[in-house]
């Protein structure tokens, strides 16, 4: 897999696995920060006589993003716990956590940008910084699809 940084080494608790987990945590933090800004902004902004966050077209995507963030956090914590405790079944958990975090960062930041509208691209909210970080950092150790292929190949 030339499109992924490093090979899937035999040590699921080695330096590459730990670097992947750190990157997954970083991506999770980027997505969580963007989500917090979007929830705060849509709670203040008024449209059609109601808070923007109270409109289903805005509230439901933000709620789905929150569920995705929680699931990703669980995957990252699980991968870190398995790596720290030296479990043999750690296997592909760090790679799966990174793939999930990369997808989550891209998707959640995109939803947050859409929820905040044009203000997301101004210094007023700063969401554009999260977007740039999510775009640049989500592929640092390989694209999510390539990481998922590694996980699938290892589990077969």
Q: What is the dihedral of CA 143, 156, 20, 12, to 10 degrees?
A: -160
Domain presence at residue 6: no
pLDDT of residue 125: 83
pLDDT one-digit tens code per residue, 20-71? 999 999 999 999 999 999 999 999 988 888 898 999 999 999 999 999 999 9
Per-residue confidence (pLDDT) for residue 149, from 0 to 100: 95
Residue 95 lies in a domain: yes
Structural tokens at position 51: 């808070």
> What is the CATH classification number for the domain harbouring 41?
1.20.140.10
Answer yes or no: is 49 within a domain.
Answer: yes
Give residue 28's domain range: 15-155
Q: How many whole angstroms separate alpha carbon 72 and alpha carbon 96?
A: 10
pLDDT of amino acid 120: 86
4 within a domain of the structure (yes/no): no
Whole-number pLDDT of residue 102 = 98
Cα 88–chain centre separation:
26
Model-level pTM?
A: 0.88
Give the per-residue pLDDT at 68: 98
Number of compact structural domains in the chain: 1
pLDDT (tens digit per residue) in 64-118: 999 999 999 999 999 999 988 877 777 889 999 999 999 999 999 999 999 998 8
7 within domain boundaries: no
Phi, psi of 86 (to 5 degrees): 70, 25
Which of the four pLDDT bands, split at 50, 70 and 90, describes residue 7? Answer: low
- Residue 10 maps to a domain: no
Residue 2 domain-assigned (yes or no): no
Q: Is the pLDDT of residue 8 over 60?
A: no
3 domain-assigned: no
The pLDDT value recorded for residue 4 is 61
Distance CA 80, CA 36 (A): 24
């Amino acid at each position: 897999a030339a499109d992924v940084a490093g090979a899937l080494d035999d040590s699921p608790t080695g330096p590459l696995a730990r670097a992947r987990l750190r990157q997954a945590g970083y991506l999770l933090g980027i997505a969580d920060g963007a989500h917090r800004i979007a929830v705060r902004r849509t709670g203040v902004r008024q449209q059609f006589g109601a808070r923007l966050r109270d409109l289903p077209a805005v509230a439901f995507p933000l709620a789905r993003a929150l569920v995705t963030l929680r699931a990703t956090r669980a995957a990252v914590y699980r991968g870190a716990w398995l790596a720290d405790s030296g479990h043999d079944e750690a296997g592909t958990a760090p790679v799966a956590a990174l793939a999930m975090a990369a997808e989550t960062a891209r998707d959640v930041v995109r939803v947050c940008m859409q929820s905040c509208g044009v203000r997301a691209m101004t210094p007023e909210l700063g969401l554009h910084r999260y977007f740039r970080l999510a775009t640049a950092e989500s592929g640092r150790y390989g694209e999510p699809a390539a990481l998922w292929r590694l996980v699938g190949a290892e589990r077969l």
